[in-house]
Structure 1
Amino acid sequence: MGALFRSEELCLVQIFLQSGSAYNCVSELGELGVVEFRDLNPHVNSFQRKFVNEVRRCEEMEKTFSDPVPSAPQPRDLLAIEEESERLATELKQVCVHSELALVNTICGNCRRKAQQVIFVYSWIFCGPSFFVAGVVHPWKVPAFERLLWRACRGYFIIEFQEMEKNPNVLETSDMTQWTVFLISFWGKTIGQKVKKICDCFHANTFFYPENTEERQELQKGLQSRIEDITQVLFQTESYLQQLLCRCVSILPQWKVCVMKCKAVHSILNMCSASVTDKCLIAEAWCPVRKLLLLQSALTEGTRRSGSIVDSFYNRLPLSSSSSPPTLFTTNSFTAVFQSLVDAYGVAKYGEVNPAAYTIVTFPFLFAVMFGDVGHGLLMVIAALWMILQNKDNKNTHFKNEMWRTVLAGRYLILSMGLFSVYTGAIYNHCFSRTLSIFPSSWHLRPMNWSDDTLRGSRFLCLDPNTTGVFRGPYPLGIDPIWHLASNHLTFLNSYKMKMSIIIGVLHMTFGICISYFNYSHSQQWFHVLLVLIPELLFMLGLFGYLVFLIIYKWLAFGPGQSDRAPSILLHFINMVLFTDNKETPPLYPGQVTHLQSVLMVVVLTSVPVLLLGRPIYLYYHHTRHQNMYLLNSLEHHSIRKQLEFDAVEVFMHQAIHTMEYCLGCISNTASYLRLWALSLAHAQLSDVLWMMVMRTSLSSRGMLGSVVLAGFFSFFALLTVSILLVMEGLSASLHTLRLHWVEFQSKFYSGTGYKFSPFSFTSITNPL
C-alpha cells in the first residue's frame, strides 16, 4: 500500500554507452523494462539523426508481432534476415512464373492435339493438298479477324474457333486473360501468305504443323508426352511451393519481432547524444531507485555480449527544482482498475498523494449508496466471480472484442461494488424491492389495544411511540421492515437518505482537505498548512461540519417519543448564516445561538480573508526578505536572476480565484452529494414499479395456466432487471460516483498534472495489449 499511496522514488541517471556495446546494452534494458529514456536531441529532425538509416530499413520490413517472441537480434543478424527474405521473395516469384508457363504450355498442347484431330478430318474430306494454320487470338478480335480473312482470301479457306477450357494468367499483371483457339484450312501458298500476314496483324499466336500425315502423328505423340511431363512438373512445383510457404510461415513471425525490437533499439540510440570524442553515446533516463542494480546488471550483460573491453556505466544525477520526474505506481490486477479511474482524470504529480489508495473503498461504497439492493448486489457479485474465473489464466488477451476486454479488466471493481451493494441493501432492507424480515419488528400493535371495529373500519392506523410497549428500541440491522408497510415510508426514507448523503459528502470532502496536508509536508511547504489548509478546514467544518453535528445531535437527542417537538435543523442553519435569532424556533441545546453558532460564524468569516490574502502576502514578504541576498548572486548567474522574478498581481489573482472557487465549491459540492439520495430513491422506486407491474400480476394467477404465466412473466422480469436495473442503473450510478470523486473529492488536494512512467520495454512494443 505504501507504493500506492505515493509514487515510487525515481532518480535521473546518465548512462555512458560504448559505441561497440551500445546496441546490446539498450537491448538488455529493453528486455528488463526498467528505465524511461529522455530525448537529448529534441531540436534535431528525425531524418537527421545518426541511426535514421537503420530505422528506415526496419520500417520497410516491420510487420505486426506474432509468437514466439525471440530476443533482440544482432545488427549482423538483421542483414542476414534481409538477404534471406529477399531471396525467398525472388524464389517465390520464379516458382510462380514457371508454374504459369507450364500451365500455358499444357493448354497449348491440348489445343494442338485437338487441331490434329480436326486436320485429319479435313484431309479425309477434301483428299487434296491443303495447308493449315492454327493459333490463339483474343475473343473480342474474332469477328474482325474472320471478316478480314473472308474478304482477303475470297472464301478459299475453312476456319473453326473454340474457346479455351482454362484461361492462363498474364505473367506481368497476374490477371486472367481469355483466348480463343482457331484452325484455318486453305489451298495454295498465295492464300497462305495472306493468312499469315493477317494473323501477324491481329497479334495472334500461331503454331507450326507439318504437312505430312506421318510427321503430324509423331508430333501429336511428342505433344502428348510433353503434356505428361509438364503435368508432372506442375505437381512438383506446387509441392515445392507449399513447402516454401510453410517455411515462410514458420519463420516470418520471429523475423517480424526481431525487426520491431531492432527498430526500437535504434530509435532509443537516436535519442542519445554523442560524446566529445565520439567514442561513446550518452543517454539520460529515469529509473526507480530500487531497480538501479538491475540497470547495472543490464549494462554489464550488454558489454559481455558485445565483447567490448570498456564497460558501460551510469552516474546518478541530482534532481533540480525544475525537473519533473514521471510518476510510477506499482499495481496488481485488483488495484489497476482503480488506478485507471484516477488516471483518467489526470496522472498524479511526482510525490503527490495518490487518490487510488482511498478510491478502492470510497468508490464502491458511494456506488452502493445509490444502488443499495441485496438481490441486485448478489447478481453483480455472481457476474464478477464468473469473470474472475474466466480470467483465471489471463484468458482476456485472447478476446478480440475490446469492450469485453474492458469489462473483464474491471471485474474486481464490479465485485467490490456488488459486495458493498449487498451491505447497503441490507441497511435499506431492500431485496428486489421487497423487505427482509430477518429479525422481529421493534414496533408492536398489541399495546395499542385497538378494538375489532377499529381495525375493520380504519384504512390507516397510527402507532404512538409514546405508548408503553409500542416501540421497543432500534432495529438490530438497517431499517425496520414495518416501515415499508407504512403510508409515510417515503417521507421517512427521504429524510433519512437526504441527511445521510449530507453526512457522507461532508466527511468525504473533509477527508480530501486533510489529505492535502501530506502533499504540503512532502514538498516542505509548511506555510500552505497554516495559510491554506487550516482556513479551508475551518470554513468547511464551521458551516457544513456543524450541519452534520446538528443532524447527528438531533438523532440522538430526539427519539420517536419526542418527534412531535423536535426543532427544524433547516431553520436553525438559516438563522445561523443570517445572524438572526428566531424566538419561535426552540433551540436544540442550551447556548446554541449565543455561544457556539456565533463563534463558528466568526471563525468562518475570518478564515476567508486569511485564505485570500495569507499566501500572497507571505510570498511577497519572503521574496522581499531574500531579495538582497539573491541579487548579489544574480549578478553572476543569470539563472538565479530568473528565479528572482516575482509577479505579485498574478499570485494574488490566482489565490483570489482559488478562494472564490473553494468557498462556492463547498456549497455546490455539498449539494452535489444529494445525488446519493436522488439515485437511491430512483433505483428503489424503479425496482418497486417493476415488481408491482410484472411479478405481482403473475403471482395472482392460479392452476396450471398460472405456472405458464409465471414462467413467462418471470423471464420478462429477469430481462428487465438485468438490462435496466443492473446495466443502465448501474452505469448511471457509476458515472455519478466517478463525478463525486473527480470533482468533489479530488479537487480538494489533487492536481493531476503529472505524467506516467513509461519505461522502454520490448514487451509493450511487441504486445501492445
Structure 2
Amino acid sequence: MGSLFRSEEMALCQLFLQSEAAYACVSELGELGLAQFRDLNPDVNAFQRKFVNEVRRCDEMERKLRYLEKEIKKDGIPIMDSGEIIEAPQPREMIDLEATFEKLENELREVNQNAEALKRNFLELTELKHILKKTQVFFDEAQGSYLYCHNSYSYSQMAADGSREDEQANLLGEEGLRTGGQSLKLGFVAGVILRERIPAFERMLWRACRGNVYLRQAEIDDPLCDPASGEQVFKSVFIIFFQGEQLKTRVKKICEGFRGTLYPCPETPLDRREMAVGVMTRIEDLNTVLNQTQDHRHRVLVAAAKNLKTWFTKVRKIKAIYHTLNLFNLDVTQKCLIAECWVPIADLESIHHALRRGTERSGSSVPPILNKMDTKETPPTYFRLNKFTKGFQALIDAYGVATYREANPTPFAIITFPFLFSVMFGDFGHGFIMTLFAMWMIVNEKPLMNKKFNSEIWNIFFAGKYIICLMGFFSMYTGLIYNDFFSKSLNIFGSEWFVPYTTMSVIREKEVMLDPKNAFTDEAYPLGLDPVWQVAENKIQFLNAYKMKVSIIVGVCHMLFGVMISLWNHMFFRRQINIICEFIPQIIFMTFLFFYLCLLVFHKWCSYSAVADAHGLKEEGAHCAPSILITFINMVLFKSSYPPNGEVPDCDPYMYSGQEGFQKFLVFIALMCVPWMLCGKPYLIWKERKLELLKANNGNAGGLMEETNASQAQMIDGSAGAVGTSHEHEEEFSDICIHQAIHTIEYVLGCVSNTASYLRLWALSLAHAQLSEVLWSMVMRIGLSQTSWYGGIVLWAIFAAWAVLTLGILILMEGLSAFLHTLRLHWVEFQNKFYQGQGYPFLPFSFEIILDAAQNTELD
C-alpha cells in the first residue's frame, strides 16, 4: 500500500539538453511518462516560440489525415489497427510524411472532383432522359385534339371549370393553336424540380402569370443522387406552355427562384427521339467512367486505411514533442535547451537511462545533465495506480486531489465504500445480479475496450467495473446477514423458533404471538436473521431497532478511524502541537460520548433477554431493558434516570452499578476537551512567539531564530503540502484564533450531525427492503396466484414486468441512490477528519495519455 497510502516523493529537476539531442531525449521521456515539465516561457506568445513552425506543420498533417479518415469512413472501409508500439519518428521523417500526405490528399481531391463532375453530368443526362420520356407522353396525349379558346380565356377559368387536367389541346409547335381560323403558336419550357416544391411552384406560376400558363408535371419514380451531398432526392418533370416573350422571361425567373433545372426539349417527335438515343449512349459511357473512377478511389482509400492509425500516432507524437520543446528555454549560446520538470525520486534512475538512450539515438556526444533543485513550491501529488485502484482513486479525486504526502483515503475506501453501500443495498439477489454484470465486464475487458463505445453512461459503468463488482459482492454478504433474497428469506439452517400451540389453536387464531420464553430454542441463528422474521407482523419494528443501532455503530467506528488517520498525518509532518491540541481532545471527545453510546448498545444486547425472564431474573429481563436514547439524553443533560418524585421503579433504569457517576465523568471530560481544542493551540503558539521575541530582543536570534521559525511553521501549518516548505510570512495570531475556533466548532457540531448522518444507512436499507417486498406482493404475486390453464402465460408476462421493474428501479435507481449516499459519507463524514484535498495532480508528459485523450476526443 506504500505509494497508494501516501503520494510519491517528488523532486524538481533542472535538465540541460544539447539542441541536437533534445528531440530524441524528450521522445524517450514521453515513452516513459514520468516527467511533468514546467513552462519556462509563460510570457512568450504561442506564435513566437522556437518550434511553432514545426507545430504548425504537424497541425497541417493532422488536418490531411482527418480528411483521409473522413473519406475512408464515408466509404465504410475498416481502419486497420496493428496494435504495435510505434516510436516517435525522427525530425527528418517529417518531410517524407508531409510529401506522402500531400500526394494522397491531392490525388483524392482530384478523384473526388472528377467523380463529382461525372456525377453531375450523369444527373443532368438522367434528368434529360426523363424529360424526353415524360414530355413525349404529354405530346402524345395532345395528338389529334384541339383546344378552342378565346384570347381572354385564362388558367383560372380552366381551374374553375374543373377541367384543367382533362383538357387536351394540339400544342405541337408546327400546328399551334387555332383561334378564329388563325393559327396561334405557343412556346414551352421543360425541366425538373424537387418534388416537395411542386405545390408552391404551381401557386407562384399561377399568381405571377395570372393564370396565362399551362403546367403539366409528372413524378420521377426512381430517386436521383445529389452529386454535392451524396443524398437521394426525389424530383418531378414539368413542362410549361405560354405565349409571348414576356411570359417566357417570367417563367424562367420563377424556375430559377425555385432551383428548377431547365433543359432543351426539341419541338418535333423525330428530334426528341434522336436526342433520347444520344442521351442513352452518353449515359452508358458515363457509367463506365464512373465505375472506373470509384474503383480507383476505393484502391487509394484502402491503401491509406492500412496505415492511417500509424500515421496518426506518428504525427501526434511529433506534435507532442515540439509542444514540450516550446516549454524549454534557450541558453545564451543557442546550443543548449534548459528545462524544469517534476519527477518521482524513486524513478530518477529510469529517467537517467531514458536520457542516455535518447542521446545515443541522436548521435550526440554531449551527455544530458539532470540536477535536483531546492524549491519552496508544493510538488504535485502522484500515486501509482493500476486498473483496480484507478476507479477508487477517481472517486476520491472528484472531491479534491490529496495534498502532497498526506494520507490517501483510497486504500481504505476500497473496503469501506462497497461495505457501506451494501449496508444500504443489502439483498442477495440484487447483489448477485450486480456482481454478474461486473464480472461480465471484467472477463470481456479487452474486447469491450477495443470497441470504443460512444455512450457516456456505458463508459462510466465500464470504468467502475471493479467498484461495481465489490459492491455486488458485499451486497450478497449483507443480503445473507439480513436474510433478504428478492424480499424473501432463505431458510438454510432452519428456524430457531417453534410454535408451542396446538394446530387447532393456530387455525382459530388469525395472529399468534410467540413468546421468546416459550417459543425460542435459546440458540442464535447461525448466520444473520432468523427466517421466521419474514412472516412476523412486527418485522419492521424489529428491523428498525436492529438496523438503526448497526448504523450508529458502523458510523462511529468509521469516524473514529478517520480521526486515527489524522494522527498518522500529524506524526508524518511532525506537527507535535496538532497531536497535543487537536488529535488527543478529538479522540477523547468522540470516544467518551459516541463510542460509549455504541458500548451501551452492545451491553444491552448481551445483558437483557427473554431467557432471563424464563429463569426468574427480573432485572435482566427484556421488559427491564432501558432505552438507550433516553439514557444518552439524560447523560448529556446531567439528568438522573430515576423518577423525579422519588418513586422506586420496578426496573433499574441503569444497566450497571455506578453508571450515573461514570457517565457524568465522561461528559465532564468531553466538555473539557472543547476549550482544550479551542485555546490550546493558540496559547502554545503565542507562548512560542513570545519566547522568540525575548530572544530577539536579547540579540540571540541569529541562526537559532531561523531554525525556530522553520520548525514552528512546520508544526502549526495545518495544510502543509510539502515537507520542507516554509512560509514567507507568519500567520497573524488573530487569524490563528479564528481558524482554530472555526475548526473546533465544526468538529464538535460535526460529531453530532455526522453521527446522525450515518442513519441514512438504516433509512435506505429499510426503504430498499420495503420497496422490494411491495414489488413482489403487488406484481409477482398476481402471476403466482393464477390456478387456471393459462396461469403459465400470465406468470410469464408478470415475471417479465417484475424483472424489468427490479432491474430498472431496485438495481439501477436504488443502486445509484445508495452509491451517492455512500459517496457523501466518505467525502463529508469520513474524510473531513483528516483529509484536506488541496493538492494538484501529477500530469506527466506521456505519449500513452496523449494518444488516449485524442481517441476519446474522436469518440465524442
Corresponding residue to 1:578 among 632, 637, 642: 637
Q: Which amino acid aligns with 1:657?
A: I
The reply to whether residue 427 of structure 1 matches residue 481 of structure 2 is yes
Match of 1:332 in 2: 386
* Alpha-carbon offset, residue 644 of structure 1: 4.7
The 1:8/1:537 distance shift into structure 2, 3 A limit, reads: same
Contact 1:373 1:432 in 2 (8 A): yes
- C-alpha displacement of 1:227: 12
- TM-score, normalised relative to structure 1: 0.79
Q: Does 1:365 align with 2:419?
A: yes
Closer, same or farther in 2 for the Cα pair 1:297/1:704, shift >3 Å? same
The answer to whether the 8 A contact 2:61-2:101 is kept is no
Pair 1:2-2:61 in alignment:
no
Read off the aligned partner of 1:78 and give its amino acid letter: M
2:17 match: secondary structure: strand
- Offset at residue 743 of structure 1 (A): 0.6
Offset at residue 582 of structure 1 (A): 3.0
> Is the counterpart of residue 465 in structure 1 residue 465 in structure 2?
no
Question: One-letter code of the match for 2:638?
Answer: F
What letter corresponds to residue 34 of structure 2 in structure 1? V
Q: Secondary structure in 2 aligned to 1:75?
A: coil
Indicate which of 589, 596, 599 corresponds to 2:656.
589
Structure 1 residue 109: deviation in Å? 13
Match of 1:287 in 2: 343
Deviation for aligned residue 1:249? 4.1
Q: 1:636 Cα shift? A: 12
For 1:411, the aligned partner's letter is K
Q: TM-score with structure 2 length normalisation?
A: 0.71
Distance between the aligned counterparts of 2:761 and 2:437, measured in 1?
Answer: 24
C-alpha contact (below 8 Å) 1:441/1:480 kept by paired residues: yes
1:715 — aligned with what?
800
Equivalent residue number for residue 507 of structure 1: 557
SS in 1 for 2:748: helix
**What is the RMSD of the two structures over their aligned residues, measured on CA atoms?**
4.2
Answering whether residue 493 of structure 2 is matched by residue 439 of structure 1, we say yes
1:651 maps to 736
1:107 Cα deviation from its structure 2 partner: 12
Match of 2:11 in 1: 11
1:268 aligns with 2:284: no
- Provide the residue aligned with 1:385 in structure 2: 439
Corresponding position of 2:669: 603
1:592-632 per-residue CA deviation (whole Å, 9 max, x = no partner) reads 112x2122112111111111112222233333434538965
Q: Give the distance between the partners of 1:310 and 1:5, measured in 2 at CA.
A: 40
Which residue of the partner structure matches residue 678 of structure 1? 763
Matched, 1:525 2:592: no
Name the aligned partner's letter for residue 601 of structure 1. Answer: V
In structure 2, distance between residues paired with 1:743 and 1:236: 69
Counterpart of 1:55, as a letter, is V
Match of 1:619, as an amino acid?
Answer: I
Kept after mapping to 2: 8 A contact 1:16/1:312: yes
| Aligned-partner SS, 2:341 | strand
Aligned to 2:102: 86
Q: Partners in 2 of 1:226 and 1:418 — Cα distance?
A: 69
Q: Structure 2 CA distance, aligned partners of 1:723 and 1:659? A: 44
Deviation at 1:289, TM superposition (A): 2.5
Query: Counterparts of 1:108 and 1:502 in 2: how far apart (Å)?
Result: 81
Deviation at 1:275, TM superposition (A): 2.2
Q: Counterpart of 1:302?
A: 358
Q: Counterpart amino acid of 1:479? A: L
Instruction: Give the aligned partner of residue 35 of structure 1.
Output: 35
Residue 235 (structure 1) shift: 7.4
Letter paired with 1:305: R
- 2:53 maps to 53
Q: Give unpaired runs (5+ residues) of structure 2.
A: 70-78, 127-172, 174-186, 193-219, 234-280, 613-620, 644-651, 711-725
SS at match of 2:496: coil
Tell me if structure 2 keeps the 8 A contact 1:499–1:551.
Answer: yes
Do 1:100 and 1:168's aligned partners in 2 also have CA atoms closer than 8 Å?
A: no
Deviation at 1:521, TM superposition (A): 1.3
Match of 1:764 among 849, 852, 856: 849
Contact persistence 2:441–2:448 (CA under 8 A):
no
How far 1:430 sits from its partner (Å)? 1.2
Q: Is the 8 A contact 2:120 2:227 kept in 1?
A: no
Report how far residue 718 of structure 1 moved. Answer: 1.4
Q: Tell me, in whole angstroms, the C-alpha distance in 2 between the residues paired with 1:160 and 1:762.
A: 69
Change in Cα spacing, 1:82 to 1:625, as seen in structure 2 (3 Å) is farther
Secondary structure of 1:643's partner?
Answer: coil
Distance in 2 (CA, whole Å) between partners of 1:98 and 1:700 is 73
| CA–CA distance in structure 2, aligned partners of residues 717 and 341 of structure 1 | 33
The equivalent residue for 1:750 is 835
Instruction: Give the structure 2 partner of residue 77 of structure 1.
Output: 93
More displaced 10-residue stretch of structure 1: 24-33 or 323-332: 323-332
Amino acid at match of 2:682: P
Q: Is the 8 A contact 1:396 1:408 kept in 2?
A: no
CA distance in 2, matches of 1:727, 1:229: 61
Q: Percent identity?
A: 47
Question: Aligned in 2, Cα 1:315/1:453: closer, same or farther, shift over 3 Å?
Answer: same
CA distance in structure 2 between the aligned counterparts of 1:464 and 1:228, rounded to whole angstroms: 98
Residue 484 of structure 2 aligns to a residue whose secondary structure is coil
Q: Distance in 1 between matches of 2:827 and 2:727?
A: 35
1:331, distance to aligned residue in structure 2 (A): 2.1
Q: Please tell me whether the aligned partners of residues 630 and 644 of structure 1 are also in contact (alpha carbons under 8 angstroms).
A: no
Match of 1:155 in 2: none
The 3 A distance-change label for structure 1 pair 16 and 231 is same
Runs of at least 5 residues in structure 1 that lack an aligned partner in the other structure: 111-145, 147-158, 177-224
Question: C-alpha deviations, 1:635-665, integer Å up to 9, x for none?
Answer: 999x999735330111111111111111111
What amino acid maps onto 2:762 in structure 1?
W
> 1: distance between equivalents of 2:503 and 2:117?
109
Flag the 1:645–1:355 CA change in 2: closer, same or farther, 3 A.
closer
CA contact (8 A) 2:402 2:838 kept: yes
Match of 1:407 among 451, 454, 461: 461
Please tell me whether the aligned partners of residues 348 and 750 of structure 1 are also in contact (alpha carbons under 8 angstroms): yes
Alignment partners' CA distance in 2, 1:109 and 1:699: 70
Query: Structure 2: how far apart are the matches of 1:227 and 1:670?
Result: 84
Which is worse superposed, 671-680 or 284-293?
284-293
When residues 420 and 46 of structure 1 are mapped into structure 2, their CA distance, relative to the original with a 3 A threshold, is same
**1:466–1:108 CA distance, 2 compared to 1 (3 A):** closer
8 A contact 2:14–2:371 mirrored in 1: yes
Q: How does 1:190-339 map to 2 (within 5 A)?
A: 241-318=297-374, 320=375, 322-339=376-393
2:164 aligned residue = none
Q: Deviations over 1:24-73 (max 9, x none)?
A: 11111112212111222223332332222222232233256984563222
C-alpha displacement at 1:724, in angstroms?
1.1
Cα distance change of structure 1 residues 459 and 34 upon mapping to structure 2, 3 Å threshold: same
Q: Residues 534 and 674 of structure 1: is their aligned pair in 2 closer, same or farther, counting only changes over 3 Å?
A: same
Q: Give the match for residue 541 of structure 2.
A: 491
Cα distance in 2 for residues equivalent to 1:443 and 1:105: 91
Q: Is the 8 A contact 1:100 1:169 kept in 2?
A: no
